[in-house]
Structure 1
């Protein structure tokens, strides 16, 4: 088997052919299909895969300097044209053929692949194997899958079937940057064995007293670490030089966050000790805590590479694509100082807005993001090339009143998921001091208001009224305030005189012409 051209040397990715660092720059590549009740990525389904389209997309990436795509192996996991064998156990031969063809196209165009698994296939008996040890106690699915011996065994069988099938087809493993055991590892925190706060729980790795928080935490870590060890052994037995990773979003501690909702994840102990070669951490601008706190929750390693395998701009957070580009460039640059050394944008092709978490795709707007984020346009991902017209970002700010957890600084932090809240009704004001006079061409105000209703806002610059807004507004609405003639000023005050709710703003942007 040919040697992988990208290896890890002294804690970083290196192109062994040139001896130079290899900086991962690329995209998540999904092809979503409307199934009627939902959308599903079917990039590798032989019924959907289009060689000409994929080749053209790879050319578009390579010509701009991108080098990697992240692809889901098994997101097409149920149906005759998906990964599971439609006629019995094992995997669909036609699907495996398509995976190999995809790999060959990537190799021909100088693109590496980070393959990731989303879950066991729905069919072919893998989940039945996984559930054998639930003993009527474990709830099935993820909590059973990671905490029981049968769940681990199901993963071993699945990965053996997958990699054996690819080896038999002489797949070009040298094009694989890495094998991601899971897209995102998590468990349900409202299901057994995470629900009891007292009593003894026995899992595949031992017996734990759930009244002891440290033992309860160790129970999950031990189970996931064992799962990683088992699957990594299978991968390395088929691809000895291959790199192994796993995807994670941020845990909800030590810094409290709503990331992940009711899903539980704990990464710091795995960073300290696991069979992973590198870590794939996912983080998007506009979360409810800043990137530095996300990194603290993840517990970044000092001795292994870390990539941001998912990063992008959600449309509902950043409704303007140019603002989205600025925020993504800044987010990535900020992550450089924290130790991230690779970024894969979510996602290359546009998703229907009905998916609920659609981002600005690289190819929308005549390839706008594909161009401005490209290594050819931005050679150093750690140095933004776009100028932010928002002169209010990080400016000095004060307000008439503020709730303890909603200070006025939240209105100028660039994060639409935080807000300044006065904690009381109108009349209230917030005042931004730009530090020096700036030419102002417009303002953009993101509403934080419930219930919806009539509001009146008066905007002044250095004490002179420049605009008055009297309209019906609602939570999340963006108010654009263009000025017919730019004005130069330093202190901008927004006074709310009428509102059906407590006065608040999630973000205030003061834009240069």
Structure 2
């Protein structure tokens, strides 16, 4: 989910969710968790606990803290921000998650924001042009502390490394490029421009090394995987898809004719696969080659599209450009799930599903993402309950989330991470029910101790 920024009985299961505890001491040496891997490389592969060879089913939550930019409506991920990281609150949450049977927590890393820095509020892993670090050390210390706490409570961590740190080091790795000359701009550049991909690879290499140094090699197994993007998408209002003319040659070195719909689609699909393969290869060459890599996306239906269509919804926001943009059109196109499943060779993928206030059809959403052509493990890394969609009734929402989990399980999904555990900072996030809300009503339906079989109502 993106933020507006620039995004047994319930009583038994949920008792003590908000109880205050004293500041916990970090575990000196938590017992390492077994490595999670896959059973093979074929279409029938599944996630497994490598110590037992038994199937591993991720069931957990997204743990998100937010901070607001002063005198602005922009919000940013502050979970691990030095001076804001609440170690005691995190430990209480992880303790409660473990008590209720969850085994994965999904968290966001903040890369920093140059506009916020210019406004006098630097934050995150990258602190601008004077920062030559591989990532703010104090920030990485907090991430390591969280990983140790999660390992203590036997919970795997799925960190989202959305963008490389915004600082001089990574900008230097990226180098300068002419977006007009390359005919690639905006969000599309992240997946199609060589320098952008190279900087992201550098970030993954450094993150693995820096966390390994902080938590030790034995605790690196506490990572379920590293997520290369929360919700990866292209936009039809940026180059090369903002016009149906010309050509583009992305990082894979192939030239595509933008006047041909099949070429437009292939340029996006092939670039997504190239990006995913290169990030995964980077981790395999790192100090911890057993770490898995995944990537997340929303459905085409979620942004008003029946499926991949060669970027038929496009426009130009450049002065004197071609087709003008319309405010009521969502020009985003998610990465193509079926293409990644077939060609990217990632251990598992992540598809996000939210019943929205308008009529929601799970089958329509999955059909838009070509579910029938998808093979290999896929988890629902985000699913959540908008208040409006359930008439502001938490009981309806609880059963709705249970039913969504059951229905996706029966269609072949392999794991579920609820959005969110207890995020309440912004009005945007207050539109959704929290797992802990109203004595954990939703938790009473989703917690593995209450429903050990995610496929059963």
The TM-score bracket by the shorter chain reads 0.7 to 0.9
* Cα pair 2:65 2:425 within 8 Å, conserved: no
List aligned pairs for 1:430-469, cutoff 5 A: none
1: CA distance, partners of 2:264 / 2:175 = 22
List aligned pairs for 1:372-451, cutoff 5 A: 372-384=445-457
* Cα pair 1:134 1:144 within 8 Å, conserved: no
Q: CA deviation at 1:129?
A: 5.0
- 1:36-71 CA-to-partner distances (Å, cap 9, x unmatched) read 322322111121112221111111000011111001
Aligned partner of 1:20 among 39, 54, 62: 54
* Aligned twin of 2:82: 46
Higher alpha-carbon Rg: 1
- For the residue of structure 2 that corresponds to 1:277, the secondary structure is coil
* Cα pair 1:39 1:355 within 8 Å, conserved: no
Aligned partner of 2:208 among 140, 163, 170: 163
* Aligned twin of 1:368: 441
Structure 1 residues 164 and 141: alpha-carbon distance in aligned structure 2, compared to 1, 3 A threshold? farther
- 1:120-171 CA-to-partner distances (Å, cap 9, x unmatched) read 3333453565462334344644212211111111111222222222223244
Structure 1 residues 44 and 261: alpha-carbon distance in aligned structure 2, compared to 1, 3 A threshold? same
List aligned pairs for 1:86-485, cutoff 5 A: 87-89=130-132, 90-127=134-171, 129-130=173-174, 132-137=176-181, 138=183, 140-171=185-216, 172-205=219-252, 206-238=254-286, 239-251=288-300, 252-254=305-307, 261-265=330-334, 266-286=336-356, 288-300=359-371, 303-318=375-390, 319-352=392-425, 354-355=427-428, 358-384=431-457
* Cα pair 1:33 1:39 within 8 Å, conserved: yes
Bigger mean CA offset, 104-113 vs 347-356:
347-356
1: CA distance, partners of 2:446 / 2:329 = 27
Question: TM-score, normalised on structure 2?
Answer: 0.77
Aligned partner of 2:65 among 31, 55, 58: 31
2: CA distance, partners of 1:34 / 1:135 = 31
2:39 is the alignment partner of 1:9: yes
2: CA distance, partners of 1:34 / 1:204 = 36
1: CA distance, partners of 2:88 / 2:308 = 46
* Aligned twin of 2:6: none
- For the residue of structure 1 that corresponds to 2:271, the secondary structure is helix
1: CA distance, partners of 2:307 / 2:367 = 8
Task: Work out the number of aligned pairs and report it.
Answer: 383
1: CA distance, partners of 2:206 / 2:355 = 38
Question: TM-score, normalised on structure 1?
Answer: 0.69
Aligned partner of 1:67 among 99, 103, 128: 103
1: CA distance, partners of 2:429 / 2:124 = 24
Structure 2 unmatched runs, 5+: 1-31, 314-327
* Cα pair 2:173 2:195 within 8 Å, conserved: yes
Alignment RMSD, CA only?
A: 2.6
The structure richer in strand per residue is: 1
* Cα pair 1:232 1:244 within 8 Å, conserved: yes
2: CA distance, partners of 1:268 / 1:253 = 14
- For the residue of structure 1 that corresponds to 2:60, the secondary structure is strand
Question: Which structure has the higher relative contact order (CA within 8 Å, separation 6+)?
Answer: 2
1: CA distance, partners of 2:34 / 2:243 = 46
Q: CA deviation at 1:110?
A: 0.8
2: CA distance, partners of 1:126 / 1:231 = 16
Structure 1 unmatched runs, 5+: 385-513
- For the residue of structure 2 that corresponds to 1:382, the secondary structure is coil
